[in-house]
Structures are given as structure tokens and as C-alpha cells.
């Protein structure tokens, strides 16, 4: 499936606890005992996915709007990188 058509979801929401303030998020993963700190860009993507499965395009548009930048190829690259970071931390996973 093409990246643009891929939907993303939180991997194990029942095992995650998080607190967000201003533009940052701290997340505790009960499965591993890891604590993760997310900056504004990562928090924006994480908070959107927490609301329900989201497509790559939705995440790009949402992040660009929230960060007040243009939804261009640079934003697409940033969202793709953030998704890989969150996937590597086992926080999000492709839906389906």
C-alpha cells in the first residue's frame, strides 16, 4: 500500500499513559517501562492519531495547519520521519 493511503493507529492505547502541556507530551509505556518525551511536531502527530486511525495525508494537513506551515514535500518528509520514530518506539502502528 502506498504511504499516502496508509492509516496509522496507536499500537496499545491501554498500555500508554501520557500528559501534554503547551506543545509537548511525555508518554509512559507500561509494556516496556520507557518514558518518551515528544516535542511539538511529534506531539502534534501523536495527539492526532490518538483521536483515531489517521491517513498519512490527514496527518500532513493537520500538522501543517497546527504548526502554521505549508503542507509541502518538506512537511510530508517530516511526518514520515515522525511516524517512523513513533513506530520504532512501538507507540503507533499501521492500521489494518
Position 4 pLDDT exceeds 80: no
CATH number for 52: 3.90.930
Say if 73 falls within a structural domain.
Answer: yes
Say if 96 falls within a structural domain.
Answer: no
- Residue 47 domain boundaries: 3-91
Angle at 1 between CA 54 and CA 39, to 5 degrees: 40
What are the tens digits of pLDDT across the range 37-80?
Answer: 999 999 999 999 999 999 999 999 999 999 899 999 999 999 99
User: Domain tally for the chain?
Assistant: 1
Q: In whole angstroms, give the CA distance from residue 3 to residue 26.
A: 27
Say if 14 falls within a structural domain.
Answer: yes
Say if 34 falls within a structural domain.
Answer: yes
DSSP 13-34: GGGEEEEEETTEEEEEETTTTE
What are the tens digits of pLDDT across the range 7-23?
Answer: 999 999 999 999 998 88
Amino acid at each position: 500500500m502506498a504511504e499516502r493511503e496508509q492509516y496509522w493507529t496507536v499500537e496499545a492505547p491501554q498500555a500508554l499513559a501520557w500528559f501534554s502541556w503547551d506543545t509537548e507530551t511525555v508518554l509512559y509505556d507500561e509494556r516496556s517501562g520507557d518514558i518518551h518525551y515528544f516535542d511539538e511536531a511529534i506531539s502534534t502527530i501523536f495527539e492526532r492519531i490518538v483521536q483515531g486511525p489517521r491517513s498519512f495525508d490527514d496527518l500532513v494537513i493537520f500538522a501543517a495547519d497546527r504548526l502554521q506551515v505549508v503542507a509541502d514535500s518538506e512537511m510530508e518528509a517530516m511526518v514520515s520521519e515522525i511516524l517512523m520514530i513513533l513506530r520504532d518506539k512501538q507507540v503507533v502502528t499501521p492500521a489494518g
